Amino acid sequence: MPSRIASKSGHKTPAVRKARTPAAQKKDPLSWHGQDLPGARFVDCSLKGAVFENVSLAGMRLRNVDCHRARWEDVDARKSTVRNSDLRQSSIDDVSLANASLHNADLSGLRVDDASLAGAHLSNVNLKDVVIEDAQIEGLIINGIRIDALLARRSREGKTDKKKARKLRK
């Protein structure tokens, strides 16, 4: 029996079987457009290459899910939980993951544009080669280090280093 995808309203949709062939995934990727699925649960299934556009998934639960190369666009996923899942090389654009919890997730190669992670908690995640640009990082803590304070201190030290270098040139 395949895994199930269920929303809190009780509506159940069959999940993708783990045995989907790569050829079938390329021809027929799963997609959700303009749907309201608050509290949806995706467990032990493949959403590889899936497309989520203009979807409400607030309170969603992903557990043991392959979301490799999935595309999430204009998605409300506030207060969601992602555990033991693969989001490698996926793209997240205009997505709210505010107050979400991501644990033991592979986020390597993830592309994130115009997203909110305010109040989110990430633990045991793979952030290899992640680039963060033009981001609001007030209160961002990584391994117990407050990053905004670290960067401010580094910026002040950089100014001091420039002054020292100018003095040495004179």
Which pLDDT belongs to residue 21? 42
4: β partners = 14
pTM: 0.73
pLDDT one-digit tens code per residue, 51-106:
999 999 999 999 999 999 999 999 999 999 999 999 999 999 999 999 999 999 99
Homologous superfamily, domain 4-135? E3 ubiquitin-protein ligase SopA (2.160.20.80)
**Residue pLDDT, tens place only, 108-130:** 999 999 999 999 999 999 988 77
Q: How many residues are recorded in the chain?
A: 170
pLDDT for 164 beyond 80: no
More confident site: 169 or 90: 90
pLDDT at 7 over 80: no
128-151 residue pLDDT tens: 877 777 888 888 898 899 988 888
CA quadruple 98, 134, 48, 28: dihedral positive or negative? positive
Q: What is the model's pLDDT at position 167?
A: 65
The Cα diameter of the chain in Å comes to 78
| pLDDT at position 158 over 60 | yes
> pLDDT-based confidence at 3, cuts 50/70/90?
very low
* Mean per-residue pLDDT of the chain: 83
Alpha-carbon gap, residue 22 to 43, rounded angstroms: 20
In the numeric block, which tokens belong to residue 97?
């993951």
| Domain-wise residue ranges, the chain | 4-135, 137-170
Task: Give the pLDDT band of residue 25 (cuts 50, 70, 90).
Answer: very low
pLDDT at 163 over 80: no
The answer to whether residues 25 and 49 touch, using CB atoms and an 8 Å cutoff, is yes
* Euclidean distance between CA atoms 7 and 61, whole angstroms: 10
